[in-house]
Chain A
């Protein structure tokens, strides 16, 4: 894959422009509500060296990893079931899409009441966000597997499980990966969002707590960390995604 000069230089220039806007905004507004990019990075480094910060980071990481695992497994299972069963797919697809487009935050109190205030409610909320794209992409991918592959499987008298494992899954892999990539982002959004409401630990809690204390440093540093983490991982996943789609 060869990139042209503009494809490399362009995004770098845009990043520089964004930093410049941030710096100018800081000069305009001042210390009351903003920090400069330099100050924010320095404070983020300082936060990372504080022992009191790590429990929050670990809490968010734990919730996120568990939610991602549940979202992936649940999404794959539902997606394969709905993709291979035609009627089931037709019945449930609009419901999944509806669930995708409603403000799911409002469902969070229900999860809090069912799971209690703590890690499991956050995990459930993250998974609730993440499983939908995984299921939708997997379902469409399983539906679009070329019929000749499935016929070959039937001719070879493969069991249903073997058909899924050896034919549907490999054939649908690029699409499934796209679903997992989107699921990754949404799980992270869900986990952080859950922490921002009624939580006692985690990065989302730190953000909300800092509003009351007017800790602009904390808000900017934590926001920067979250945005950078999400952007870098999603960028890497996007590269793998494009590679997979090109190969098939």
Chain B
């Protein structure tokens, strides 16, 4: 595992070095992209000055809100749908094609309905994430061992107690896969809608900088967004792997 990791770092470092060289030689001119070293320096300066603390907080708060909504609604809906077989058969084709629909195309309609505030952004991010949570939770509920459910019946547990104490913990690794998607989609939804049309947030700042040809702000922010989402996704992947390994599933 170690040499692979090293090789990956080498590839990334080589890529960054290559871009740096292209920028320095002038094949990529500075109006298009400043050299990576300068982007890093600009990013450090921007973060130290604190002028982006507000937008970063706005983006992360909205993403957290959308994420919490998607997870609570998604898990609750999955538990209900799992109990109603007919409803599940009816909804399955919709789940299967859901992610083919460009959800962000609903953003203009939501702006008209709710105004240009946090609400349409949170709804978009929620809509992106909730179905992934539902589908993965259903998948996990399908795999709960029969014997656990029988034990629950023998202990005369009600359906709520069975759900919270038996089925959901048993389905946890699969639910976590859904949760992981919900995190990624919350960030994509919020930053995407901020970018298209908004009044605050990191996505808005990037769009604003683009419109003002302000590369010294735009590139550091793009890099910041990528770093934040890659770190969040990596942490969740590690947690998911540990959970699956403990169950002997991988």
Contacts and interface: CB of A to CB of B under 8 A. Distances in A.
Contacts of B100: 184-185, 188, 230-231, 233-234
B109 A219 contact: yes
Nearest to B111: A211
A103 B191 contact: yes
B49 interface: no
B192 A235 contact: no
B102 A106 contact: no
Contacts of B197: 208, 211
23 contacts: A6-B90, A10-B90, A10-B91, A33-B112, A87-B4, A91-B4, A91-B11, A101-B184, A101-B230, A101-B233, A103-B225, A105-B196, A106-B221, A108-B195, A109-B209, A113-B32, A185-B100, A189-B102, A196-B196, A204-B105, A208-B108, A208-B197, A230-B101
A34 interface: yes
Nearest to B218: A109
A238 interface: yes
Given A10-B87, A105-B203, 6 more contacts: A91-B4, A102-B233, A182-B99, A192-B102, A197-B207, A208-B108
Contacts of A10: 86-87, 89-91
Nearest to B219: A110
A230 to B, nearest CB: 5
Interface of A: 4, 6-7, 9-11, 13-14, 29, 33-34, 87, 90-92, 94-95, 98, 101-110, 112-114, 182, 184-185, 188-189, 192-193, 196-198, 204, 207-208, 210-211, 214, 216, 219-220, 222-223, 226-227, 230-231, 233-235, 238
B201 to A, nearest CB: 11
Contacts of A104: 188
A39 to B, nearest CB: 14
Contacts of B90: 6, 9-11, 13-14
Nearest to B96: A238
Binding site secondary structure of chain A: helix
Nearest to B7: A91
A95 B8 contact: yes
A210 to B, nearest CB: 6
B161 interface: no
Given A6-B89, A14-B94, A192 B104 contact: yes
A110 B207 CA distance: 11
Contacts of B12: 95
A98 B86 contact: no
Nearest to B94: A14
Contacts of B163: none
Contacts of B187: 102-103
Contacts of B11: 91-92, 95
Contacts of A94: 8
A112 B105 CA distance: 20
B104 A196 contact: yes
Contacts of A189: 102-104
Contact of A223 (B99, B109, B229): B109
B197 to A, nearest CB: 7
Nearest to A235: B97
Contacts of B87: 10
Contacts of B91: 10-11, 14
Contacts of B33: 110, 113-114
A219 B86 CA distance: 34
B222 interface: yes
Contacts of A34: 113
Contacts of A208: 108, 196-197
A216 B11 CA distance: 49
B207 A234 contact: no
